[in-house]
Amino acid sequence: MKNLIIITLLLIGSTTFAQNKNAKASMEVDGICGMCKARIEKACLNTKGVKFATWSIDTHELKLIYDDRKTDVNTIQKQVLAAGHDVKEIKATDEAYAAVHPCCKYRDEAVKEEHEDKGGAHEGDAH
């Protein structure tokens, strides 16, 4: 009986250690150019537990891989907002938005049109 309990505990323990600690998530984040891409990804990667972050200029989709024992989507989202970028249902503060580079003012229609006139922003654009 004692051996059965020990074996059961070992199996439970090894199952716990084998759990996948990497979580995946994606969210919509507003931005307009390569500088925005760099800022958004940096904000994510500077969050403890985030292992991978890539943001698409074309689709505005931010894809993440993170250690869910160290962080969560809400924490990552707060970092993106603090960097001055809106997420789908929450706007960055006016102070955070004001701090982004003038060419990155994605809420400004004239700036959006300027980027479109250049033939669209390319993922490698860094201004």
Q: Is 57 part of any domain?
A: yes
3-state secondary structure of 66: strand
Q: Is 4 part of any domain?
A: no
Question: Any residues with CB less than 8 A from the CB of 83 and at least 6 apart, and which?
Answer: 39, 40, 42, 43, 92, 96, 100
Q: What is the CATH number of the domain that holds 31?
A: 3.30.70.100
3-state per-residue secondary structure call for 24-59: EEEEEECCCCHHHHHHHHHHHHCCCCEEEEEECCCC
Q: Which residues pair with 61 in a beta bridge?
A: 28
pLDDT at 19: 59
Q: Is 16 part of any domain?
A: no
Q: Is 14 part of any domain?
A: no
Task: Provide the domain count of the chain.
Answer: 1
- Mean pLDDT per block of 10 residues along the chain (127 residues) reads 52 51 95 96 98 97 97 97 96 97 93 75 45
First vs last C-alpha separation in the chain = 70
Residue closest to 93 by CA, chosen among 102, 101, 103, 83 = 83
Name the residue range of residue 112's domain: 21-117
Q: Is 109 part of any domain?
A: yes
Q: Is 96 part of any domain?
A: yes
Q: Is 94 part of any domain?
A: yes
Q: Is 9 part of any domain?
A: no
In contact, 54 and 63? CB cutoff 8 Å: yes
- What global pTM score does this model have? 0.77
